[in-house]
Structure 1
Amino acid sequence: MKDEKWLEAMEKLGAVRLFSSLYVRKARKGALTSAQEVDMLFRTALALEPLTPLELSHAMGVSKTIVSRLIDSLTGKRLVEKQYSREDKRSYFLKITDEGRQELESMCYYYLGPIYELQRNLGEEDFNQLMELIYKANESMIEKSSV
């Protein structure tokens, strides 16, 4: 086999998957929104400027097709709305609605609970170091995929 350390790599991949399953919650049964829809809602609500579908695609690490499907679902549920550009009527930005904000507030602690617990368990310094490494790893993969 080409990679002599593939067993070690598989163990590391397993650790990453376990971490993800422990700290990234899936949508609740019967919830109004899916986990990806929640991600899009959070990103739309927290954005300093309105986001385009392409910007959301890059930020979420998913295809434009998936973003379009999520936007259709969220607009259908009246959680986001499209604001069309005055310069180019084909282009639009997403804006969270009041209903969308209420939905986020109602589920915020469900999704953030594991992260708060991780922060308490690790302590501030280790948690911040972990987050810096996660940001660095994400940025590295984003740069690599955009080349």
Structure 2
Amino acid sequence: MRKEEWMVMIENMQKLHYFSRNMLLQNQRLTLRTAEMELMLLIYLKLGELTPLDVSQIMGMRKESVSRTLKSLLSKGYIEKVKCKEDERKYYLYLTDSGQEILNKDYQTMLRPIYYLREKMGEEFDSFIEMVMVANRFLQEFERSNEREVL
């Protein structure tokens, strides 16, 4: 790789990090950590019958990270586990009333920067989101190929 190309790629990486830091700064106003908020939103949107394995697969998080986040939310009383009637080894995740309350409080704060970007970017916002989705798919493929190489 030419030195000039390497330097441009480092600058691009810094721009992505800067964007990510700006988004995370907005989330510092939340009661919940970002992973907790995302997990609770996922439970809310799925309306039941969501298992920890489902969460791990949908969010692209390791099982250990999901377990830690679930443990934190359970200890705070924001979610509950309900055993599956057909298979007692399996359980589903649901929001509690206090979880619903905290979600209602925090989601507006979490979405403010996204609404702001949409307002400022106009029609380019949809293209931006589409490109982020494409990039995420490529990065998931890249991660899977790296996992196979390690094995």
Gaps of 5+ in 2: 146-151
Distance 1:136 1:12, change over 3 A: same
Kept after mapping to 2: 8 A contact 1:85/1:91: yes
User: 2:48, 2:92 within 8 Å by CA — same for their partners in 1?
Assistant: no
Shift of 1:50: 2.8
| Partner Cα distance (2:74, 2:95) in 1 | 9
- Structure 1: any 5+ residue segments left out of the alignment? none
Q: 1:38 to 1:8 in 2, by over 3 A?
A: same
Partners of 2:57 and 2:23 in 1: CA distance: 22
Asked whether the equivalents of residues 37 and 74 of structure 1 are also in contact (C-alpha less than 8 Å), the reply is yes
By how many angstroms is 1:49 displaced? 5.0
SS in 1 for 2:126: helix
Q: Which residue of the partner structure matches residue 26 of structure 1?
A: 27
Q: Percent identity?
A: 31
Q: 1:135 to 1:84 in 2, by over 3 A?
A: same
TM-score, with structure 1 as normaliser: 0.86
Is the counterpart of residue 90 in structure 1 residue 82 in structure 2? no
Q: Report the CA distance between 1:26 and its aligned residue.
A: 3.1
Q: Label 1:48 to 1:145 Cα distance change in 2 as closer, same or farther (>3 A).
A: farther
- Higher helix residue share: 2
User: Which residue of structure 2 lines up, in the alignment, with residue 108 of structure 1?
Assistant: 107
Q: How far does residue 81 in structure 1 lie from its aligned partner after superposition? A: 0.9
Q: Name which of structure 1's ranges 129-138 and 20-29 shifts more when overlaid on structure 2.
A: 20-29
TM-score when scaled to structure 2? 0.84
